[in-house]
Amino acid sequence: MQDTIYAPSSAIGGAVAVVRLSGPECSAVVKKILSRDLTRTPHALRYVQVQEEGEVLDDCMAAYLPGPKTYTGEDMLELHCHGGSATVQALLACLSRCGLRPAEGGEFTRRAFMNGKMDLSSAEAVMDLIQSRAQGSRRAALEQLHGALMRRIRENGVRAAISVKPNTPAEAVLPFLPLCDLILVMTVEPGFGGQSFLHSTMPKLHQLRQWI
């Protein structure tokens, strides 16, 4: 992925808003619009001003995070600016004029997955954790994010559970088995063809259904 993306990662309208960037142009953005070269002090949260053509857009706290030891595995920049809508919009417009593009929904986590920073189960858990409203769902999502689901699967000798439509022949499933760490669907539906193929694994697949 060659482009650099940006997006607010917190609600707009509060005291502080966090804008996150990811991609190869982060270091160039630091040097172009920030009053301090944060690439010399990576991982440190520093006071800076965001400037464009001599105008100060905001006073911020910012951190430059070089890859690959970041959430996405890419270079990242986090800007903690004042949370007013006008301030955030001015900052986002400035980033757009720098040649960056707005991130698509879930793109930061998708990049993390594509760069090997998390497996599919953990990537799904991130969204579940964000959307959770009950304490039980929060705990379940956090456990999944920490790898509980994959550990249970591997400990019980099942590398993946594959969801298929009724009457799907077993031969259609076989090519996907080498990718099973990327397939995390929890049920086998009635009518599955090739019963002899599933005979030995069906008990463990039923166990997997009970864990979820």
pLDDT tier, 126 (very low <50, low <70, confident <90, very high otherwise): confident
- The arithmetic mean of pLDDT across residues 32-54, rounded, is 96
pLDDT digits (tens, 9 = 90+) for 103-117: 998 899 888 888 888
* 91 and 16 Cβ atoms separated by less than 8 Å: no
Contact residues for 126 (Cβ-Cβ < 8 A; gap 6+): 109, 118, 145
- The arithmetic mean of pLDDT across residues 143-164, rounded, is 58
Nearest CA to 25 out of 75, 83, 64 is that of: 75
Is residue 84 packed enough to be buried (19+ CB in 10 Å), middle (13-18) or exposed (0-12)?
Answer: middle
**CA separation for the pair 12, 199 (Å, rounded):** 53
Q: Enter the pTM of the model.
A: 0.67
Question: Quick check: helix, strand or coil at residue 20?
Answer: strand
* 189 and 165 Cβ atoms separated by less than 8 Å: yes
**CA separation for the pair 68, 109 (Å, rounded):** 14
pLDDT tier, 148 (very low <50, low <70, confident <90, very high otherwise): low
- The arithmetic mean of pLDDT across residues 50-77, rounded, is 96
pLDDT at 2: 78
Beta strands in 23-157 (DSSP E): 46-52, 55-65, 76-82, 101-102
